[in-house]
A = this chain, B = another copy of it.
Amino acid sequence: MPELLNGRATNGNSNYKETPYSPVLESEYGEYRSLTERMNRRIQSGDPWYSLEFFPPRTANGAVNLVSRIERMSEGGPMFCDITWHPAGDPGNTEKPTSSTCMAATMLNYCGVETMLHITCSNQDEDGLKRNLQKAKDIGLKNLLALRGDPPDGGDTWKKQEEGLNYATDLVKVIRREHGDHFTICVAGYPTGHPESTSYGDDLRHLKEKVDAGADFIITQLFFKPETFFQFLRDCREIGITCPIIPGVLPIQAYQSLRHIVKLSRLEVPKEILDTIEPIKDNDEAIRNFGVEQCFQMCRELLKHEDVHGVHFYTLNREVATIEILRRLGMWVEEPCKPLPWKQTANYVRCKEDVRPIFWRSRPKSYIHRTSNWDEFPNGRWGNSSAASFGDLTDYYLFYLKHKTPKEDLLKMWGEELNSEQDVWDVFHCYISGCPNTKEVKVCSMPWNDEELSPETNLIKEQLEAINKRGVLTINSQPNVNGAPSSDSKVGWGSPNGYIYQKAYLEFFTTKENGIALKKILKNYPQVNYHIVNKNGEEDTNCDLTTPIAVTWGVFPGKEIIQPTVVDPIAFKTWKDEAFELWKHPWGNLYPEGSQSRKIIDHIFDSYYLVNLVDNDFPKDSCLWRIVEQMLEAGRQTSSVEEMDVNGQW
């Protein structure tokens, strides 16, 4: 009976279709897989990948834009993104937006993309190098591209230094000696020879040395014809280089930049390319169209080769051309898989993380930042993990949030002058509804949101609009869901053929009158768990003091239940401080001290309640809207009785 006993399936998901080119699903969470391992899996499955190279921008604003671009491009499913080492830009600085290491940390931890940092050894003593390696490790990096680096004096020729490291081979050796197998190491290959090497043959031998010293794979310098690469590949294999060799390609995007690159890398552009672009050199669009077509054709040729498993793009920090080429190659992931309802980081330390409190759903970067010192991350369920303490809010420095929207733009959105609480309520209403404010400006962000409204919020948008206008200032919410398919475009996540569940959740600020009214009303709703708290932490709740409540969970074939979002009473104490503080900073601080506008925000900060409500009876229509309606009705009556008490004294 051999047919029964032979075929042990090695993968529980063998029956389920996997989206092609989906590195997110491929690696999934739960176990960190090194870049080498992931490459080998893709090589075995015959599923080619791509990677994207960027360089650090010169200004903080440029950095903000690049982070946004990398966030967008990481949606398309690159195997990894890499950032070049810019020796003049204080590259080891982890706080400076324009430094290589800071950018790598941001890509890895906040954009959630597998990241590789270039690192060079020239013009640097071994101690400095070691410090940089340690920093790379500390921020959570697992991948380095080891390069010798350009001449220190900016001159054309490189001179061997007496002290220090002179070759990429030495650098690879130091990385391996100091950090063992911690890093996956990539090295550069030069299909047309390194410009400074004595010969193509010498160059190949140096490459072999780099690999023998411990490099895991090779990315090539750019080239313009597939044959150039194929010849190089043959020559490498000939001398015994067996690791993956990834062709690096450049979509030509402008005449000037091509000339610049060619000059730097001392490459020769083939005559047929020059002949084609010279006549159109002033027509940017025509050049780009040519570049896309030329690069697409070359990639297609390259990927036909049985020993080519991926392509590396020199993006020049631009997205349009590269995305177009990837789309035409069928490698761009149009509908990215969400393994979990929220986006994970790519930091290996957090690879098992699969539960978070719902509170930071619209401020994931703040959550990542405040938990970055945790030794372990909640896995499987929140359980007692909430015992770990959150980092301080005052430490919350993330350059691309700070620089994202200038003060004048915030004032235009949130009101240059506030005359009443209703003015504040209207800002919330505009944010939810998408309607422009009285100054015809769209309110596209709020202090409580890193990002735009999630698509699922649209499911309850009408209700939210109505209550925000009336002073129920919602900052977080989700509808109840009773077994939606995991493929659902709004609420779906996780692997195919699963079922998604949610308990209805509503979190809002509201007036003290409403808070008082709410407490009485909630006595009639035993199925609802609630927290009602003011800025001083005076709290009313019917929740257990330590037990988290799962509010989002999924049931999948062949797995345990996954419960990625919880309402945790302990984490809520931390979140409550952050949520109240956001009234003052950034909002209140926009206005001069003593101004009417500032006083209104201060009054809200001092007197409003932060409320959260969980309707545990998820299979039935949510009762939360009825509760809010009753609260508004009761609060209105109280309010008219206590009208005299305008100073927030109670």
Contact = CB atoms under 8 A, between A and B. Distances in A.
Interface string A558-574: 11110100100000000
Given A540-B5, A561-B553, A499 B547 contact: no
Contact of A539 (B8, B383, B549): B8
A542 B619 contact: no
B541 A550 contact: no
B9 A538 contact: no
Interface in A357-393: 379-383
A239 interface: no
A526 B15 contact: yes
Given A380-B383, A381-B380, A515 B553 contact: no
A379 B540 CA distance: 30
A545 interface: yes
Interface in A482-535: 482-483, 497, 499, 501, 512, 515-516, 519, 526-527, 529, 532
A481 interface: no
B619 A540 contact: no
B529 A558 contact: yes
A361 to B, nearest CB: 17
A616 interface: yes
Contacts of A9: 541-543
Contacts of A381: 380-381, 560-561
A242 B540 CA distance: 35
A529 B557 contact: yes
A539 B516 CA distance: 63
Contacts of A614: 558
A313 to B, nearest CB: 34
Nearest to A562: B561
Nearest to A539: B8
Nearest to A5: B538
A10 B560 contact: no
A1 interface: yes
A549 B559 contact: yes
A453 to B, nearest CB: 27
Contacts of A3: 516, 519
A14 interface: yes
A616 B542 CA distance: 35
Nearest to A529: B558
Contacts of A13: 544
A1 B516 CA distance: 7
A397 B343 CA distance: 51
Nearest to A534: B5
Contacts of A379: 383
Contact of A8 (B15, B540, B619): B540
Given A1-B516, A499-B619, A561 B558 contact: no
Given A5-B538, A383-B380, A515-B4, A616 B557 contact: yes
A512 B1 contact: yes
A635 interface: no
B497 A527 contact: yes
A527 B557 contact: yes
Contacts of A557: 527, 529, 549, 616-617
A147 B87 CA distance: 81
5 closest cross-chain pairs (CB), A and B:
A12-B544, A15-B526, A557-B616, A5-B538, A550-B560
18 contacts: A3-B516, A4-B515, A12-B547, A13-B544, A14-B542, A16-B526, A379-B383, A383-B560, A499-B618, A501-B555, A529-B557, A549-B560, A550-B560, A550-B561, A557-B616, A558-B614, A560-B563, A561-B563
